[in-house]
A and B are shown apart, each in its own frame.
Chain A
Amino acid sequence: MSEILSPIIPLPTSDFKITVREPQKILLSNTIPVYYIDAGTQDIIRLEIFFDAGIIRQQKPFQALLANMMLMEGTKTRTGAQISEDVDFYGGYLSVDYAKDFSTITLHILNKYFEKALVVLQDILMNSVFPESELDKLIKSERSAYAIDSEKVGYLGQKKLNEVLYNGHPYGVHSEVSDFNKISRDDVVDFYKQYNLSSATITLAGNIKERELSLVDKFIGNIPFDQQKKADLPRNFKALYGDHFVEKKDALQSAIKIGGHLPMKGSDDFFGLLMLNTILGGYFGSRLMNNLREDKGWTYGISSYIESAAVSSSFIVSTEVKGDITQKAITEIFKEMDVLKQEPVSALELDKVRTYMLGKFLKNLDGPFELSDRFWGIHQFGLTYDYYQKYLSTVKGISAAELQNLAQKYFIREKLVSLSVGPK
């Protein structure tokens, strides 16, 4: 076949214009802060309320989960079904979620129905009653979901990793399916105290104008609440570094999790570590993907990531491989970390990763919800937009030698957990 295409690849640029848009802030009449971003092309709104009511505030397993989900199960005047019906009818989506540090209520709705949905949201915030009968049903369904998850090696690995990395901390409390039998309505109601609005933050993103802001004030800004003094966050844990194994008989694949602690989000080394993580396992072209998937075909995928929480950041490598090569795969993962300690990253690879990360960052700023997520991603840690400037200058400027130093400083076998879940 004759040459039908230009053989020369057009030269890409990495000089993208990147503007990080910050939200504007208002205080509702009752002083709840609202951070809003008016952007995008669609007549849609996302409203999120963040509560200082995550796993970190939990005394017993599943308290945070159940209290969070029970928000949807009934108020003084609406059953759970009515709550859903009154939002569903206008095409809205009301959902709740919980994580290590925060719990959330999220509303997605078209602008034209915003007020209809706010009526329901206000009711939930003021009048939740946690009916015992609904709790029983919820426990049943959550117990069965938990039992299903517990058949998955990846889930079991993540659970064990939390337990050993955060040994002695609420993040790392061990749970069993039987713990669902040990939780009462009192435990749930007790945990609900964490949902006090004095520590709540609201974000709004989408088509947000004066009308939308005043509606939020009308329905949420008039809710009374007591000023609550929260207990200090528990910060102590003692990680159980080293090798761990959880047996899962007749699994076809083993899950591997390798993890350790890193400095807090926004601290000096953190930005370079984000880059180091990307090179190791943070994108499709990473060293781990090239080695274990593209070269050896041992896995469908392998990734590493950095997860930041209020008391620590952690670094995790995660994959699922065929059972008989588990040990070999673990060896290869550590080998890739060693290579980063021993050899500087080539200029070619470094340039590729820089451009990739800049493009990815641009994508992560694309649209109102993304902009709002970038805000919460720093605000929850008490960081300012200076964080993103540092991020950009690190991505553009960090040297291979600095990355190598970070690898030597943090990729230390004795300070890492290596665990697998699968057949013996």
Chain B
Amino acid sequence: MINYKQKTLANGLKVIAHRDTSTPMAALNILYKVGARDEDPKMTGFAHLFEHLMFGGTPAIPEFDAVVQNMGGESNAFTTNDYTNYYVTFPKDNMEVAFWLEADRMKGLAFTQKSLDTQKNVVIEEFKQRYLNQPYGDAWLKLRPVIYKVHPYRWATIGEKIEHIEMAQLQDVKDFFYRYYLPNNAVLVFTGDVEEEVVFAMAEKYFAAIPSAEIKRTNYLQEPAQNEFREIDSDLKVPVRSFYQVYPMKQRNHDDYYAADLLSDVLARGMSSRLYLKLVKENPLFTELSAYLTGSVDPGLFIVHAMLSDDVDMDHAKQELEKEMDKILATGITENELQKVVHKSETSLVYSEMNVLNKAMSVAFFEMLGDAALVNEQQDKFTKVTTADVLRVAKQIIRKENCTCLNYKNV
């Protein structure tokens, strides 16, 4: 349970404070409601490139991180298809420096050509290191445009291709900043041993004067329902054959998300899960099987990923996997299986509330989804799922004509 208080400043900045008296550390998390889905299809990867530039200094300070280090803190950020999240952790004695820093860069950046040029190179190396120079690293670059034909989820946060990153100009950076990095498009969460009223006063002191503006969102189309099986092969040479089967499903804040999440756990979470028992242990057609969800703000994906054992025929392995899926679709899951994965979700939740940073990120995420209060409703939502819900959701998602398959056959 995370107890918090919230306040909205006159400029629209949402401020949420959670007091944790057990620790000398504090976290300041700012989430901007802009992600890769807001990008121009001709300049993908921009939201993530921009995230790098947020560390490149402002008119007041040459370097963001140097000030963070000077207060005994650490900071980082990540970009998703839906949002961009920045955080700083620090000894709470220095909270005022953290507030100053975040307000300073919300006010404006230095916008230097040098910073842009360097970070373009850094991001291109990141592109290579994480997506091109790893076996299977290209999976999502390949899958997204086949699954999403019209929705901007069709490109990955890193971008559709390196050329798009090379194209970014300083003017694009400025335009993006003044369009999206607005107080009324942000959620600020502070967690630490500080009274909520003190947090609100400090937010007021440093952020209140930052002007709000109308947020001009991109218009994009929602993805129509898929109604044919799609299959592609990667020509990348890989050490072990592998495939992904990906199924479109509901969005993160839909009630069916919870049943789908539990279904993925029953299928492949841990060594006592169904697919693992049947197809890795009893009949070892695979060396590894996993199932997980993207949990995105717009309708997301249910993913099954498999690594094949040597000398096993891929088609045969897929048929056996399909048989296991068919069993679930025919008879659902047992009460015992449901209870197990609900217990697992409970442990995960208790864990996620162990430190100030995780708590700050969770609260910000749920506020972005619609309401911070959701953070304390998660366990209840998992507990309420019935075996009938899981069966219904499984039937909705696991359908051949709802599936896209990516194969790695080239060993």
Contact = CB atoms under 8 A, between A and B. Distances in A.
Interface of A: 1, 4-7, 9-17, 40-44, 72, 80-81, 83-85, 88-93, 108-110, 113, 134, 137, 140-141, 143-145, 147-148, 150-153, 251-253, 283-285, 293-300, 320-322, 351-353, 355-356, 358-360, 362-363, 366-367, 369
A206 to B, nearest CB: 9
A367 B280 contact: no
A144 B211 CA distance: 56
Given A40-B22, A253-B125, A5 B72 contact: no
A148 B240 contact: yes
8 contacts: A9-B60, A9-B100, A17-B24, A83-B271, A110-B347, A152-B134, A283-B74, A297-B117
B407 interface: no
Q: Which of B101, B126, B134 has the most CB of A within 10 A?
A: B134
Contact of A295 (B89, B101, B107, B118): B118
A220 to B, nearest CB: 21
Given A151-B134, A300-B130, A359-B94, 19 more contacts: A7-B60, A9-B97, A13-B94, A16-B24, A89-B272, A141-B280, A144-B307, A148-B240, A150-B239, A151-B238, A152-B135, A252-B128, A283-B74, A284-B74, A284-B76, A285-B66, A297-B122, A299-B122, A356-B70
Contacts of B67: 9
A358 B94 CA distance: 13
A293 B123 CA distance: 10
Contacts of A1: 108
Contacts of A363: 25, 74, 89
A176 B23 CA distance: 47
A251 B284 CA distance: 32
B344 interface: yes
Nearest to B117: A297
Contact of B90 (A83, A134, A359): A359
B65 to A, nearest CB: 5
Interface in B343-370: 343-347, 350-351, 353-355
A143 B346 CA distance: 34
A137 B209 contact: no
Interface string B5-45: 00000000000000010111100000000000000000000
A68 to B, nearest CB: 15
A178 to B, nearest CB: 13
A43 B211 CA distance: 44
Given A41-B22, A147-B240, A148-B135, A81 B272 contact: yes
B371 interface: no
A42 B354 contact: yes
B355 A5 contact: no
Contacts, number: 219
Given A140-B310, A148-B240, A352 B70 contact: yes
Contact of A144 (B25, B240, B339, B343): B240
B305 interface: no
A363 B119 CA distance: 29
Contact of A16 (B93, B206, B288, B344): B93
Interface string B72-91: 11111000000000000111
Contacts of A298: 121, 125
Categorize the interface residue count of chain B.
Answer: 35 or more
Interface string B323-344: 0000000000000100110011
Given A5-B103, A17-B24, A108 B347 contact: yes
A1 B350 CA distance: 46
Nearest to B136: A148
Contacts of A72: 271
Nearest to B123: A300
Contacts of B135: 148, 151-152
Contacts of A356: 69-70, 72-73
B346 A359 contact: no
Nearest to B22: A41
A42 B353 contact: yes
Given A89-B339, A148-B239, A253-B129, A360 B272 contact: no
B25 A366 contact: yes
A140 B283 CA distance: 13
Interface in B222-271: 238-240, 270-271
A262 B410 CA distance: 44
B311 to A, nearest CB: 10
Nearest to B339: A89
- Considering the complex of A and B, which 3 residue pairs feature the smallest CB-CB distances, nearest first? A359-B72, A297-B121, A91-B343
A93 B348 CA distance: 10
A257 B157 CA distance: 29
B129 A44 contact: no
A110 B347 CA distance: 7
B239 A80 contact: no
A292 to B, nearest CB: 10
B72 to A, nearest CB: 2
Contact of B91 (A113, A145, A359): A359
Nearest to B240: A144
Contact of B354 (A40, A134, A152, A320): A40
Contacts of B374: none
Contacts of A367: 23, 354-355
A141 B97 contact: no
Given A9-B60, A321-B125, A91 B346 contact: yes
Contacts of A17: 24
Contact of A297 (B76, B120, B128, B339): B120
B72 A81 contact: no
Nearest to B337: A89
A82 to B, nearest CB: 8
A306 B318 CA distance: 46
Contacts of A295: 118
Contacts of B272: 81, 84-85, 88-89
A253 B25 contact: no
Given A5-B100, A10-B97, A144-B309, A360 B74 contact: yes
Contact of A12 (B70, B343, B353): B70
